[in-house]
Structure 1
């Protein structure tokens, strides 16, 4: 898609005013030169203890989606609501002539993703998906190690989001069904599978096991309606690479595993999650010098094979953080140029990730490996 450029800063309206909006979107919109917070749609200000009009008195406020989208000055819509609302909200925004940034998971199904991609192109508007963990510093470190060939040919790639949480979340992450875009597979699994997709592309086939570790149950013919809090999925590639995606809710570890990568020239082992989410939740500002930085005690471990066949282990600090601000920077620039190919996370890529997720669901239900075209 190539069209005339648009004046910036772009007026951005945010739908929703929960954690996603207040922590992951509005702070970054505020520091992105091409973007300007213009309006917020919060249906019941103050009902949940949060009031957008109170926190942002200098922007426009709406309680009706129709009135929000009818604002002719609005250029971009950010959808930060639960996943079952993403399709209708994105569809209405595109029909109103707005560009769209959608929280992950994009939408619950591949068919809905295809419909939105088609509509966006018909309307000459851009639709981008908020896969922010492409800008985790540990993941950027992994990308560099692989791009530099440090580990040689990668044969096994393990990626984890493990936690010790015996209580089911009361948010959509614990209450929505998989059909609505809920459960660990669509919440955390979207991040991990997206990262694998960025590194290695579409797998040849997948095998998945979905479980409720809290209840001691597996998804399958005996429990067809199970909503998993645990994922064990293998992604198989033509060159022999096996990617293991692991999500657990009953993992009592002081240092939770994150990456374990094995290659013909070495391996990389990392514990702990990227710091940006806990820093943002604690109130650290995006412009703080420590934002996105880990302490040296969380450095990854790099093991390299010496010329004599011996193993050399050393610390592997993360690369210089780009932080989640990079996603907004690239998104703003793509909208100004109105070029789909410049989007940081095109909806077509999120559709591919959903195809992998749907194959994992099918595999878990039928206990067999699923081929991907």
Structure 2
């Protein structure tokens, strides 16, 4: 990595003809709903092999992608590394670091579902290994391509809000009963809970918009009967620019707040509702298929911009929402592999997000403000 700019060094481009061959580790929610369809719909990429030990999931994968090869273990995939150009890791969080390390050591570029690791130090170690091997390493932060975040990024860039003073961002749900599984496990080794799940997206978006954070305050609770991991978490971040970010991740919100409320010196932007892409993927829709334009939401869901009024009473002006664009992530991965350029989300950016999450965990445990550190 360049010590001055913090950007990854340029890698040797992949020059092989034909689509780049992708191996996918894990075919649960992340693998089957997000990664597989997005990889398969990306020009220049070939979803070549899926790793899953469950026979029923192997059948599901082959039914969805008839040309696909399935194997039962990561060892089988690594043994055939010469057949692949990229590995996508969509397995449980506790496996991210060891599997990413194994793939990099086998000479394969890697995309890891968020969070990249449990700690910033682990993310930095993986980043260093990738650079030593001249390979790509990226974290899947698809929420940078949410429709509302793309719209807000444009508004902030155009200066429509003036100087942004406060950024409020929420991923709130009403799930009064835990679903179980590793994501809600209280075992620290599982890296479960909402702080590292939805919090990874919230913090990544805040850092992408407003830059480094100098202090973190957090409240993290386990509210639901039978729950083990945090299910109601709040973060207050102070950015070096002076912007304050207030971030909520909750499964216990009986009345949902706005997805974004962003207050600037001249105007504010308020947006309710969620980007439609996840729901479309869960329903089996795919980018580029069908007559409906991908990632577009109804005009009734547009956010509003104005000053001195409430959007709920009709105040302000409706702002057309940019189309959501999850396919842009893997298109950028394909370009980066071909050109040797940086990936859309770098290991250094993932480490910065994890440093904030670690500080938030300490803050909540110790009831104090914490300064995040990268080593």
Q: Is the 8 A contact 1:151 1:263 kept in 2?
A: yes
> CA offsets per residue over residues 213-239 of structure 1, 9 Å max, x none?
32599xxxxxxxx62101111001244
Residue 69 (structure 1) aligned with residue 78 (structure 2): yes
* Range with greater deviation from structure 2 (353-362 or 289-298): 289-298
| Counterpart residue number, 1:149 | 159
Q: Is the 8 A contact 1:10 1:76 kept in 2?
A: yes
Residue 169 (structure 1) aligned with residue 179 (structure 2): yes
Counterpart selection for 2:301 from 285, 298, 303: 298
Q: Is the 8 A contact 2:235 2:248 kept in 1?
A: yes
In the alignment, the residues of structure 2 paired with residue 278 and residue 153 of structure 1 have an alpha-carbon distance, to the nearest angstrom, of: 34
* Range with greater deviation from structure 2 (9-18 or 349-358): 9-18
> CA offsets per residue over residues 64-84 of structure 1, 9 Å max, x none?
222211221211101111110
- Shift in alpha-carbon separation, 1:177–1:330, aligned structure 2, 3 A: same
| Counterpart residue number, 2:272 | 271
| Counterpart residue number, 1:281 | 282
In the alignment, the residues of structure 2 paired with residue 227 and residue 20 of structure 1 have an alpha-carbon distance, to the nearest angstrom, of: 20
Counterpart selection for 2:336 from 308, 327, 334: 334
Q: Is the 8 A contact 2:52 2:58 kept in 1?
A: no
- Shift in alpha-carbon separation, 1:176–1:76, aligned structure 2, 3 A: farther
* Range with greater deviation from structure 2 (26-35 or 52-61): 52-61
Counterpart selection for 1:4 from 8, 12, 35: 12
- Shift in alpha-carbon separation, 1:95–1:153, aligned structure 2, 3 A: same
| Counterpart residue number, 2:350 | 350
SS in 2 for 1:257: coil
- Shift in alpha-carbon separation, 1:41–1:176, aligned structure 2, 3 A: farther
> CA offsets per residue over residues 284-314 of structure 1, 9 Å max, x none?
22124332111112110111479xxxx9711
- Shift in alpha-carbon separation, 1:216–1:85, aligned structure 2, 3 A: closer
Structure-2-length-normalised TM-score: 0.90
In the alignment, the residues of structure 2 paired with residue 67 and residue 180 of structure 1 have an alpha-carbon distance, to the nearest angstrom, of: 24
In the alignment, the residues of structure 2 paired with residue 249 and residue 19 of structure 1 have an alpha-carbon distance, to the nearest angstrom, of: 18
- Shift in alpha-carbon separation, 1:99–1:252, aligned structure 2, 3 A: same
In the alignment, the residues of structure 1 paired with residue 84 and residue 211 of structure 2 have an alpha-carbon distance, to the nearest angstrom, of: 35
Cα displacement (A) at 1:322: 4.9
Q: Is the 8 A contact 1:133 1:191 kept in 2?
A: yes
- Shift in alpha-carbon separation, 1:155–1:50, aligned structure 2, 3 A: farther
In the alignment, the residues of structure 2 paired with residue 164 and residue 140 of structure 1 have an alpha-carbon distance, to the nearest angstrom, of: 25
Q: Is the 8 A contact 1:5 1:337 kept in 2?
A: yes
SS in 2 for 1:92: helix
| Counterpart residue number, 2:262 | 261
Residue 38 (structure 1) aligned with residue 48 (structure 2): yes
> CA offsets per residue over residues 246-288 of structure 1, 9 Å max, x none?
12222223x6420001111100111111110011111222124
Report the RMSD for the aligned CA atoms in angstroms. Answer: 2.1
- Shift in alpha-carbon separation, 1:49–1:15, aligned structure 2, 3 A: closer
Q: Is the 8 A contact 1:156 1:242 kept in 2?
A: yes
Counterpart selection for 1:231 from 233, 237, 243: 233
Q: Is the 8 A contact 1:10 1:34 kept in 2?
A: yes
Q: Is the 8 A contact 2:92 2:190 kept in 1?
A: no
Structure-1-length-normalised TM-score: 0.90
* Range with greater deviation from structure 2 (55-64 or 80-89): 55-64
SS in 1 for 2:149: helix
In the alignment, the residues of structure 1 paired with residue 251 and residue 74 of structure 2 have an alpha-carbon distance, to the nearest angstrom, of: 36
| Counterpart residue number, 1:221 | none
Instruction: Kindly tell me the number of residue pairs found equivalent between the two proteins.
Output: 356
In the alignment, the residues of structure 1 paired with residue 101 and residue 195 of structure 2 have an alpha-carbon distance, to the nearest angstrom, of: 24
Cα displacement (A) at 1:52: 2.6
In the alignment, the residues of structure 1 paired with residue 188 and residue 318 of structure 2 have an alpha-carbon distance, to the nearest angstrom, of: 40
Q: Is the 8 A contact 1:45 1:53 kept in 2?
A: no
SS in 2 for 1:268: strand
In the alignment, the residues of structure 2 paired with residue 240 and residue 75 of structure 1 have an alpha-carbon distance, to the nearest angstrom, of: 42
In the alignment, the residues of structure 2 paired with residue 285 and residue 239 of structure 1 have an alpha-carbon distance, to the nearest angstrom, of: 39
- Shift in alpha-carbon separation, 1:176–1:121, aligned structure 2, 3 A: farther
| Counterpart residue number, 1:97 | 107
